[in-house]
Amino acid sequence: MQTSPLWLVVPAAGQGKRMGADKPKQYLPLEGQPILAHTLARLHDAFPQAHLVLCLDPEDHWFRPDWVPFTHWQQVPGGIERMDSVMNALEAIAANDSDLVMVHDVARPCITRADLHALYRAAQSHPSGALLAMPVADTMKRDQGDQLSHATEPRDGLWHALTPQGFRYALLRRALTKAQQQGTLVTDEASAVEALGEAPQLVSGRRDNMKVTHPDDLALATAIMAAQRSSSNRSF
* pLDDT one-digit tens code per residue, 45-97: 999 999 999 999 999 999 999 999 999 999 999 999 999 999 999 999 999 99
DSSP one-letter code for 67: G
Give the chain's mean pLDDT.
93
CA proximity to 198, closest of 133, 131, 117: 131
Statement: residue 234 has pLDDT above 70: no
Percent of the chain with pLDDT over 90: 86
C-alpha distances in angstroms, 61 versus 24, 33, 193? 11, 16, 33
Q: DSSP 3-state assignment of 181?
A: helix
Residues 6 or more apart in contact with residue 187 via CB below 8 angstroms: 82, 83
Interval 183-227: pLDDT, tens: 999 999 999 999 999 999 999 999 999 999 988 999 999 999 999
d(CA 175, CA 111): 25
Phi/psi for 83 (5° steps) reads -65, -30
Number of H helices, E strands in the chain: 6, 11
C-alpha distances in angstroms, 233 versus 43, 114, 225, 226, 229? 19, 11, 14, 14, 9
Per-residue pLDDT band at 22 (split at 50, 70, 90): confident
Statement: residue 26 has pLDDT above 80: yes
**pLDDT value of residue 232:** 57
C-alpha distances in angstroms, 222 versus 21, 67, 164, 219? 18, 19, 20, 5
| C-alpha count within 13 angstroms, C-beta hemisphere, residue 88 | 22
Q: Got the DSSP string for 85-111?
A: HHHHHHHHS---TT-EEEE--TT-TT-
Statement: residue 18 has pLDDT above 70: no
Per-residue pLDDT band at 179 (split at 50, 70, 90): very high
d(CA 95, CA 227): 37
- Please tell me the pTM assigned to this model: 0.93
Residues 6 or more apart in contact with residue 228 via CB below 8 angstroms: 110, 112, 208, 234, 235, 236
Q: Give me the domains of the chain, ranges plus CATH numbers.
A: 6-134+163-230 (3.90.550.10)
Residues 6 or more apart in contact with residue 98 via CB below 8 angstroms: 168, 169, 170
C-alpha distances in angstroms, 62 versus 25, 59, 176? 11, 9, 29
